Structure formats: structure tokens, C-alpha cells
Chain A
């Protein structure tokens, strides 16, 4: 329960952190909220030689609207997202997802940036960021680049971030017109992690016709993925219970599902379909 020895540095600015990371990329780990990394270090499953604590850097925790986008600082805690009254109005999927994460202690310390960069296959945020067609802003010595959420999650615990890059911001386009969003989840009874989690983001036209659907699924496979089969089945069609049923049958198309002691791959397939259907109907019910 005691980590191996490591160096600890808490830079005051982002530039300092980038320099530190560039100098120590292969030995250092960034510390955000520490709610995945620290437990892994205590169990000695992760043994970084150096921690760069980015928690003292000012202006990495914010929720802003700019140029048709919602900008979220990497160090914004789950609780800040959960409790934002403004987000409940303009992008309810974010606070809804945040409310599903762990427990109050985890939400008070854990951050959206840390969760995304860790890319736990059962974390909640990846599904939602995919469903919101979000982008990740990565910054490093050679400047900044944005990575689409679809391209960000590469494999289990593996993202498109370079070892010398810091996840600085998450960008989510503001929804226009009539929209409905929902996150449904089967939490693991012990850990609270998603056995499966489904995020749905619908944009609706007149007569309840779906103009665009985005569906992100977590917990089911080695990484969160976009359920294109479901989106294609929804797009251009009038949403009702029957359509939700047929569309959700595509929730695991072409995906190699995970199995573990708690939930076999077949059981997960069933859960994914059921929870996708529920998420579609819940999102639809919420569209005003």
C-alpha cells in the first residue's frame, strides 16, 4: 500500500510542466486528480520515477462558451461539471455523466482531463465525449493540436497523446435546435465503473425525425467506441420505440466485447443493446 520511491514536482505554469515533461517523458507521469494513478502506484502496478503534479497550475479548471463551443479545462473536476447550472441547460449530458462517476470523494478530486488521458476502458467520460463529437486539445513543446474524440482512444489505457503532450482542454460543439441527450449505465457494484455505459446525443427535426445521432459506448470493449450502426439506423428516421429497438441491435456491431468474472462477453452484448435502447428513448423524451 506504499508506492515505490518517486520524485515529485509541482510546476506553477503550463510551460514549466511542458518543459519538465519534455525532459523526463519516459520516466514521468502527469498527476491530475490522482484517482486512478495513485491507487495503481500504491499497489505498485504503476511505478513512475517522477510525478509532475499539474494541480497547482492556474487556469486549467474552467467551463466556458466560445465560438459555438463549450471549452472545458483539463483539471475541471467531475463535481464542477456535475454541478454546473449552465451546462444543465446547454449540454445536460455532461453533468449527467459526471453524476454517474464513482462517489462524491472521487468526483470532488477526479478530473475530466485525467480520466480521458488515462482512458480506462470502463470510464464514463470517453463515451460522452464521443457522443458529443468532442475534441481533445493536446499541448506540447511543438505547440498545440486538436484530436477528434473518435481518434483519441487508441486501445486499452492507450490514447493518441504523445508521451510529451499534456491534455489541456476538451471542446464540445454547442447543440443547435431541438436536441436530446442521455447517459445510461450499468455500474459495477463494487467499483462503480461502467460494466457498460451508453451516451446518446440526438438532434431532432420536425415530426421527431432524427437529423443526427451520436452514440458513444464505454465499458463494453477495450476502449470506448462510436456505435456507427446505431447512428446509421437512427439518422433520417422518425424516432419511436420500434426504431430504438431495431437501432440498438447494432450497438455491438463489429466490436470484440470484453468478458470478465462479473460479466461475460455475451452478457455485455445483451446489456449494451438494452442500455442503448433505453438511452435513445431517454434522450428522445428529453428533447424539447
Chain B
């Protein structure tokens, strides 16, 4: 599956770059990311609860950043597997800046296999786009907040709400387990 597009973020390129390579920021921005740990220079181990609605699966894998040319380009190599299947992909990200707005051009090629691909193929592209949109919305907010600029508007709240409800869910789940 090819995922290509451009995304405008209202933040400076330098800040967007910093956010993109900061594991703690990424962990907050990647939908369903439960863990992102640095394992070496530009490589990370990730635990991802990916999915939409009630369809979710736990993936474990690695993320590697390559070909880094600050602040304009890097390649991201993702490899993960979990109970519902596996995913593997590379993405090229190019950052340009125009009047304080960062334009990210991305071109990715992702392979998804296993159960999720054989029964959920028709939804994979939609789900990927949905998660990508959530990611960029959150990333923009992160890059802006650090700049000390006015708080981000509309779209951010939905992402924040989603994130917040996911966080609540995890806490409540934790509690439920303790009380059992």
C-alpha cells in the first residue's frame, strides 16, 4: 500500500523537525503508541496498540530513522508484528518551510500481512489515513505549544479528546485489573 501526501503544519520547520525526532513527543502523537524507547542512535523499539473502533491489535516492533539531513529530510523504516498480523514499511519525509508554515511531503510504502490483511484489507488504507491525520494534528499541536504560541484550534481538540479517552481507558483498565 502506498501512502503519499502533503501536510501543512503551522509551526516552524526547526520545531517540527525537533518534534519528529523526539521519542517522547512521538509517543504522544502516534495514535495508540504505548511505548517508544530509544535502543540506539536513531533507532527505537515501539509497542503500538493500533486499530480503529473495537478492532485493535497489539504490535511490537522497531522504528529506525535513516538518511537524516536536518531539518529537511529523513527516512523512517518500520517493522512490527503482533497477533493480528505484521506490518513493514518505509517512508520518506521531506520538510519545507514557507512563511512560518512547515510543509511535510511524505511518501510511504507499507506492507500489511496476516489476519488483519486477509480479512480487513478493505479498511487498511482508510485506517492508515485516519491514524496519519491524527498523528499530524497532534504533531502540529506539539510543535506549536513548545513555541509558546497561541493554543491550537479546532482539530486539535478532537485529537486531544481521543487521546484523553484512550488514556482514561488505560487507567481504568489498569484499575479494573487491580481490583479483580
Knowing A258-B126, A259-B125, say if A157 contacts B172 (CB, 8 Å): no
- Closest B residue to A222 by beta carbon equals B126
Number of interface residues of A (CB under 8 A): 35
Distance A155 CA – B31 CA, assembled complex (angstroms): 14
Number of interface residues of B (CB under 8 A): 28
Partner of A262, one of B54, B56, B122: B122
Given the complex, which residues of A lie within 8 Å of B126, measured CB to CB? 121, 156, 221-222, 258
26 contacts between A and B (CB under 8 A): A24-B176, A25-B172, A26-B168, A26-B173, A40-B55, A43-B84, A43-B115, A45-B84, A46-B55, A46-B56, A118-B53, A121-B123, A155-B52, A156-B52, A156-B53, A156-B126, A156-B127, A156-B130, A157-B55, A158-B53, A222-B126, A256-B129, A258-B122, A258-B125, A260-B122, A262-B122
Which residues of B are in contact with A by a Cβ distance under 8 Å?
A: 51-57, 83-84, 115-116, 119-127, 129-130, 165, 168-169, 172-173, 176
A54 to chain B, nearest CB (A): 15
Q: Is A148 an interface residue, CB under 8 A from the partner?
A: no
A45 touches B116 (CB 8 A): yes
Partner of B130, one of A119, A222, A260, A262: A222
Distance A118 CA – B176 CA, assembled complex (angstroms): 25
Of the listed residues A39, A47, A49, A221, the one surrounded by the most CB atoms of chain B closer than 10 A to its CB is A47
Q: Is A27 an interface residue, CB under 8 A from the partner?
A: yes
Q: Is A78 an interface residue, CB under 8 A from the partner?
A: no
A11 to chain B, nearest CB (A): 19
Interface SS of chain A: loop
Partner of A260, one of B54, B125, B165: B125
Of the listed residues A40, A45, A258, the one surrounded by the most CB atoms of chain B closer than 10 A to its CB is A45
Given the complex, which residues of B lie within 8 Å of A185, measured CB to CB? none
Given the complex, which residues of A lie within 8 Å of B172, measured CB to CB? 25-26
- Closest B residue to A118 by beta carbon equals B53
Distance A163 CA – B161 CA, assembled complex (angstroms): 13
Given the complex, which residues of B lie within 8 Å of A215, measured CB to CB? none
Knowing A26-B168, A27-B176, A43-B115, say if A156 contacts B123 (CB, 8 Å): yes
